Amino acid sequence: MTTLMKGSCLQFKVTDQSALSRARCGEITTAHGRFETPVFMPVGTQGSVKALSPQDLEQAGVSILLANTYHLYLRPGHRLIEKLGGLHRFMSWEGAILTDSGGYQVYSLSKLRKISEEGVTFQSHVDGSTHFIGPREAMEIQRALGADVIMAFDECAPYPANEAYVRNSVRLTSQWAAVCRACPRGDHQALFGIVQGGMVPELREKSAREILALDFDGHALGGLSVGEDRATRRRVMQQTVPFLPSDKPRYLMGVGKPEDILDGVAAGIDLFDCVLPTRNARNGALFTKQGPLTIKNACYAEDDRPVDERCSCYTCTHFSRAYLRHLFMAKELLAYRLNTIHNLHYFMGFMAGIRKAIQEGRFGEFCKGFLGRSGE
């Protein structure tokens, strides 16, 4: 089944479906290429995946990445990026790009914010200056950036939050989503709506029904990975996804631990993003098929083995744990690049393994095997 989203160049096709869960494989085609789902999107906060070049990303198998509307609006500014040919040209990335709405960053980074019916007035985390972003502004910023997939502006409830706050968050998210849906965007841009509702099943359903009524090109689950435990997050996903149409992509925002990705895939999620692999790499925490490895540990000082003997990334095929530890302890910039190359290669391989397991009808076995190795 292939769906061509009206008013955009995005096509979505479900190619395989698990018989024992909602896990599925698919293909998404955008103006900047095709990629398979489930997919993990590295985060390029400032229009750059920290420490890596576009060539590094391509070699790791990255086909779509996320850039942050809030950060690019503050610096260098969306008008400058538009003047210089859009974000793809600005950062010399030929693959697909998704930009978030900026709502989460306003929620999480602002020292001072005031929410109104029109949007959010907030204080910049960079220089303390005052700014306003509402649904129209978020859409205009993203239109200027030129990403392939853009997000409706939403209000992300904190955790924990009382039901009255969450109910108002749902109301504002739906109200702003309708404004975003009516705003102009590039001919190649697909627009996703965001489902909020905190951890309250009734409000998740209400939000989903209101967002679906606006006929977006895809749908995201927002307001998760904000401090809740894994069991709660899994419950919310399992309760909410059945309300989302099967013929459009589903995106779980800001969730990136491998075990959480497995939960999301089992619930029927297609897209994921998180800073986890890149941030952990810069902190010396490396992912391996045998479990996590902390490269600063003294036991690696004379270890001539690669990080993961079963890994084919540039880092593992050229450098030892001893060398990587030396670079990290000496605070050499190369440490961040090599560690990040490895972690992203791991995540791309992890997602490829998930897709293959779904295609071969053994996703449940894949999950049990992975969680068994990680001690879950």
Q: What would the DSSP string read from start to end of 168-210?
A: HHHHHHHHHHHHHHHS---TT-EEEEEE--TT-HHHHHHHHHH
Q: What is the pLDDT of residues 121-153, one digit of tens each?
A: 998 889 999 999 999 999 999 999 999 999 999
Task: Phi first, then psi: give them for residue 325, nearest 5 degrees.
Answer: -65, -45
**Averaged pLDDT score across all residues of the chain:** 95
Residue 376 pLDDT grade (very low, low, confident, very high; cuts 50, 70, 90)? low
The H-assigned helical ranges of the chain are 54-60, 69-74, 78-83, 87-91, 103-109, 135-145, 163-182, 201-212, 230-240, 258-267, 276-282, 314-318, 321-329, 333-359, 363-373
**What pLDDT is attached to residue 7?**
44
Residue 375 pLDDT grade (very low, low, confident, very high; cuts 50, 70, 90)? low
Active site residue 273: yes
Q: Which of 100, 148, 260, 263 is catalytic?
A: 100
Q: Which of 16, 273, 304, 308 is catalytic?
A: 273
Task: Phi first, then psi: give them for residue 87, nearest 5 degrees.
Answer: -65, -40
* AA identity, residue 359: Q
Q: What structural domains does the chain harbor?
A: 38-274 (3.20.20.105)
Q: How far apart are CA 93 and CA 74, in angstroms?
A: 21
Percent of the chain with pLDDT over 70: 97
Q: What is the pLDDT of residues 95-115, one digit of tens each?
A: 999 999 988 887 777 668 899
pLDDT at 1 over 90: no
SS3 273: strand
Q: How far apart are CA 131 and CA 110, in angstroms?
A: 10
Q: What is the pLDDT of residues 309-325, one digit of tens each?
A: 999 999 999 999 999 99
Active site residue 56: no
The sheet that has 24-30: what strands, in order across it?
Answer: 2-4, 11-17, 24-30, 33-37
**What pLDDT is attached to residue 373?**
78
Mean pLDDT computed over 186-210 = 98
**What pLDDT is attached to residue 125?**
87
Q: How far apart are CA 338 and CA 281, in angstroms?
A: 8
Report field, pTM of the whole predicted structure over 0.75: yes
* AA identity, residue 237: M
**What pLDDT is attached to residue 107?**
72
* AA identity, residue 24: R
Percent of the chain with pLDDT over 90: 91
pLDDT at 5 over 60: no
Mean pLDDT computed over 221-245 = 97
pLDDT at 374 over 90: no
* Structural tokens at position 333: 């910039």
Nearest to 148 by CA among 14, 39, 23: 39
